[in-house]
Structure 1
Amino acid sequence: MSVVIVIPARHASTRYPGKPLVELRGASGQGRSLIRRSWEAACAARGIDRVIVATDDARIRDHAEGFGAEVAMTSTGARNGTERCAEAVANLGLAPEIVVNLQGDAPLTPAWFVEDLVAGLRADPGADVATPVLQCTGAMRSDLIADRVAGRVGGTTAVFGHDRRALYFSKEVIPHAGAEFGPSDPTPVFHHVGVYAYRPAPLAEYPTWDEGRLETLEGLEQLRFLERGRRILCVEVEARGREFWELNNPSDVPKLEAMMQCMGIA
């Protein structure tokens, strides 16, 4: 039984061109690229048999191979990271038990997020896909709301049922909660962490489906699974004192660097 992590990375990002090669400075003061930090995060997870960077860009390929990553070249036709993962797995002729998509803009993803995600999918044979969710504190919820007020597309939120099956994902802050929360208070909002664990069959089918209406409106690739009636398991993970944020916009760079310095991440 094998688990493969694929890190999809493209240079031509609409919101942030060249994002995978952006350098982030941690506590050591030395800069390392976003794609390298994401690869290091993937390599830190236990129980992973292979880590592959999937890209359609020679600059990212050369850079990733330079720090020792395995790289799979994919076409420019992939519409999102899930399609790129599916293409990489198919091109390499892999037949793993589980494919993990660790998107290349989440360098602060703790290893246990990935480990808990894989364990969650294994424990629920009825799920096609699993993805982590992190309960927001009042401060995290305020940051998400601030992004929306400023017109920035920031983090994604998730809502799910009592069985932890996903009901919806949105770039808006949902569910609505009129109450005020203190910075460290738990809230009913769950931040969706941009990692996915797929069973091979639904992953292989995914690129053959047309983009869904909700997927197009929200710009969220996972909604294609929901629109096709596939089951996504939301696996709640714990921060364990770690801060988590994704690099979505140029304004996130100083925020991420401050977090890394605070947490002592070199």
Structure 2
Amino acid sequence: MDIIGIIPSRYGSTRFPGKPLVDIAGKSMIQRVIEQCKSAGVLKKVIVATDDQRIFDHVKKLGHEVYMTSPNHTSGTERCYEALQLDGGHYDFVINIQGDEPFIAPEQIQLLTSTFNRNTEIATLIKRIESIEELENPNIVKALKTDTGLALYFSRSSIPHMRNIPLEDWMKSHQHYKHIGIYGYRIDALGKIVTLAPTPLEMAESLEQLRWIENGYRIRTATTNIETIGIDTPEDLERALKEMKV
């Protein structure tokens, strides 16, 4: 099975402009993402897809593969698809790795690929929620799944709602999960989902994956025990450096 890893990377973050190039203990953020992906040992190729010349030049200088893509994409999924067309190689699956996850664990990439088979359309990771603070945080996306691991729904709200149970007891009454934003797509499924129009649930929650569910696509989940640390703000980076002891 041939799998390509694609890292969409934009310069123009409103909360942290230029974050792909920020220095993290002597290496740029995007360099760390690339190296973590390659160290997983399960990807035939790892490429960066960007719309910014500074990122393009930086990745090239490091000796890694990078493609310049359109600035008009509205999602990393669309950027991945264009990069795949530019690459022109033959692959069975694509993994979309967030460009602001410099501490993504190789084991998580390996876990995601373990879900891939001919029946897999889309796959992603989830992790058990450990605190009420996480459960109530709208910036942490929650996930519901079937017993067989298929995603039922994603929400910024706490799901399921535990009726007639005090909030402090929700964690005891049900196993809640949060979404880890790494995706795997079967090649043909990726080509189809990028043609889909936004849907009501997606627009209500501002979650792209709901578009796929509303259109009948199956998202397989795998549960990781490893915490991920996405970097959205300079404060996130400061906290992450302390936690990871980089």
Q: So what's the TM-score if we normalise by structure 1? A: 0.83
**Counterpart selection for 1:245 from 205, 224, 229:** 229
C-alpha spacing 1:156/1:34, structure 2 compared with 1 (3 Å):
farther
The one-letter code of the counterpart of 1:13 is S
Residue 60 and residue 186 in structure 1: after superposition, are their counterparts in 2 closer, same or farther (change >3 A)? Answer: farther
- Length, aligned pairs only: 243
3-state SS of paired residue (2:211):
helix
1:156 maps onto 2:141 in alignment: yes
Q: Whole-Å Cα distance in 2 between the matches of residues 114 and 128 of structure 1?
A: 17
Q: How does 1:1-266 map to 2 (within 5 A)?
A: 1-24=1-24, 30-122=25-117, 125-138=118-131, 141-143=132-134, 145=136, 147-148=137-138, 154-176=139-161, 178-180=166-168, 188-239=175-226, 243-261=227-245, 266=246
CA distance in 1, matches of 2:179, 2:26: 27
Which stretch of structure 1 is more off in the superposition, 203-212 or 192-201?
A: 203-212
* Cα root mean square deviation, aligned: 2.3
Q: CA deviation at 1:92?
A: 1.5
In structure 2, what is the Cα distance between the partners aligned to 1:200 and 1:219?
Answer: 24
**Given that residues 134 and 193 in structure 1 are in contact (C-alpha distance below 8 angstroms), is that contact kept between their aligned partners in structure 2?**
yes
Counterpart amino acid of residue 2 in structure 1: D
Q: Which runs of 5+ in 1 are unaligned?
A: 25-29, 149-153
**Between 203-212 and 11-20, the greater mean CA deviation after superposition:** 11-20
Could you tell me the percent identity over the aligned residues?
Answer: 36
The answer to whether the Cα contact below 8 Å between 1:137 and 1:186 also exists between their aligned partners in 2 is: no
**Distance in structure 2 (CA, Å) of the matches to 1:244 and 1:186:** 25
Show CA shifts across 1:51-88 (max 9, x none): 00000110111122222221011111211001110111
Matched residues in 1 for 2:66 and 2:213: separation? Answer: 30
Structure 2 unmatched ranges of 5 or more: none
Q: In 2, distance between residues paired with 1:71 and 1:186?
A: 47
Could you list the per-position Cα deviations for residues 109-151 of structure 1 after superposition, in whole angstroms to 9, with x for gaps in the alignment? 21111111111122xx33310001111222xx52463x54xxx
Give the alignment's TM-score, normalised by structure 2: 0.89
